[in-house]
Amino acid sequence: MAHKYSLYPVIMAGGSGTRFWPLSRHLFPKQLLRIGGEHTLIQQTMRRVLGCAPASNVLISTNAAQADLIRVQLVDWKEELTNGFLLEPEGRNTAPAIALAAVEVLARDPNGLMLVVPADHVVTGQRDFQAAVELASELAADDYLVTFGIKPIRPETGYGYIKPKSTVLLGKRGKLRGYPVQKFVEKPNVAKAGQYLKAGHYFWNSGMFVWRAATILEEIGTHQPAILASMERIRDLKKDGATPQAIDDVYRQIKPVSIDTGVMEQSSKAAVVPVTFKWSDVGSWGSLDEVAEKNKAGNVMTGRVIDLESKQSIVYADRRVVATIGLQDMVVVDTPDATLVCPKSRAQDVKTIVDILKKQRAPEHLEHLTVQRPWGSYTVLEEGPGFKVKRVTVNPGGRLSLQMHHERSEHWVVIAGTARVTRDQEVFDLKVGESTGIPVKTKHRLENPGQETVHIIEVQNGPYLGEDDIVRFKDDYGRTVKV
């Protein structure tokens, strides 16, 4: 079928990562992880939607803190996504984020269709996915708000359920059918969930939607008028050339509400397409084996794991060797600065662990020892009173900002590649095995003029070694500089 209207995929990538701790962190959420494939979840999602629309139509709904990391992961589509990032100043659940995206799509194309997909789900069956999107698009062109219904495979109590009005056929495509929604059922208890599973005509709400931007905005206006009003105010402020601060303030004042409870469950335009592709929201470590490859004993084991006779367990090793003996239905996740051990059945309680770390202001909830940057990355090897040791990598052509620190001196030893160093007025190259020192309060810059990734060991000395002791004078990546 030729689409009547163009499709704009909207990748919802604003979530913060607690449920996959310690592999996910507040600043490194699940969508950035390599789960169930060679690509990260957001890369998988990007590739998936490119089967339905060109990259220049894709919008990424996220926030400033995560945008840099997402840009790094989606660098293959750097040009196409230049204007594709919609940044929330603060998370307000899905309805406001979708309204913001709808406004953007409308501005580009008054007849535009939106395909809303979470960045961190796993879908298997690209053809089936595209077929479902195409049928949903047909229904959406008729002003339906279309959700994808997933056939339940267990009495899950963590999802909402959808019952189609199966007497009314809205459209079909191969084996796929589209129906109006008879009712949405909020997360049921286990007895109800068992009934739905047996009944066979209830479907999981997958959180993926297709609709016309105009339709969803209209329905948001009907059911969440305050959100629509805020969108109009933001539009007016932009017209008047207001400060980003003023615009963000309007967004921050919106009451958080999800698109499911706020709009879908109240709208008479809701439709559902029960789908045939395999889907998982990989909601916790315990559900990893839905999407990852298992060995004969039912274990999902990644990295340098030495196992004796474990069964149905998930073991993730990062840099260290992890030895496991006789585990049953256990989760073991070993990262450079934090380790998790629990039964699969308790995997959802990792949220409590993250809360405890947060209260302790422990860095292990916030980010990894390895931090991605637009120019490369750094890994903290050790820190202690008065010193910090990092391995810094600089990509070919990458260049850190021209910067200065008030409180620390730095020493650099090159261990791979050729590094170009700016130190005050000097510019010189350092080869493998060469080193230099950067005294405190000295302007400096590190760059990689070559084709090979530069690795240096940086030893910092000083009374204060926080990342925020930095004055930037020039930056290639649009970060704030001193003027």
**Residues found near a second copy in the complex (CB under 8 A):** 21-22, 306, 308, 315, 317, 320-327, 330, 332, 334, 336-343, 345-346, 349-350, 352-353, 356-357, 362, 364, 379, 381-382, 384-387, 389, 391, 409, 411, 413, 415-416, 432-433, 435, 437, 455, 457, 459, 461-462
Q: Who's near 312: CB < 8 A, 6+ residues apart?
A: 289, 297, 298, 299, 328, 329, 344
Q: CA 132, CA 46: separation in Å to the nearest integer?
A: 17
The type of residue at 182 is Q
CB 472 to a second copy: min, Å? 23
CB 462 to a second copy: min, Å? 8
CA 236 to chain centre: 30
Crossing angle between the packed helical segments 64-73 and 41-49, to the nearest 10 degrees = 70
* CB-based contact 187:152 (threshold 8 Å): no
CB 299 to a second copy: min, Å? 13
Beta bridge partners of 55: none
Q: Which is nearer to a second copy, 261 or 395 (CB)?
A: 395
Q: Which is nearer to a second copy, 93 or 348 (CB)?
A: 348
Beta bridge partners of 203: 162
Beta bridge partners of 379: 370, 391
Q: Which is nearer to a second copy, 156 or 364 (CB)?
A: 364
In the block, tokens 């060109």 appear at 54
Q: Which is nearer to a second copy, 267 or 335 (CB)?
A: 335
Beta bridge partners of 118: 12
CB 447 to a second copy: min, Å? 20
Q: Which is nearer to a second copy, 140 or 421 (CB)?
A: 421
CB 356 to a second copy: min, Å? 6
Helix (H, G, I), strand (E, B) or coil at 319: coil
CB 420 to a second copy: min, Å? 19
> Strand 270-274 vs strand 145-150: parallel, antiparallel, or unpaired?
parallel
* Biggest CA-to-CA distance, the chain: 78
Q: Which is nearer to a second copy, 233 or 358 (CB)?
A: 358
In the block, tokens 């069956």 appear at 125
Q: Which is nearer to a second copy, 248 or 407 (CB)?
A: 407
Residue 88, CA atoms < 13 Å, CB-side half-sphere: 26
CB 324 to a second copy: min, Å? 5
Q: CA 310, CA 322: separation in Å to the nearest integer?
A: 13
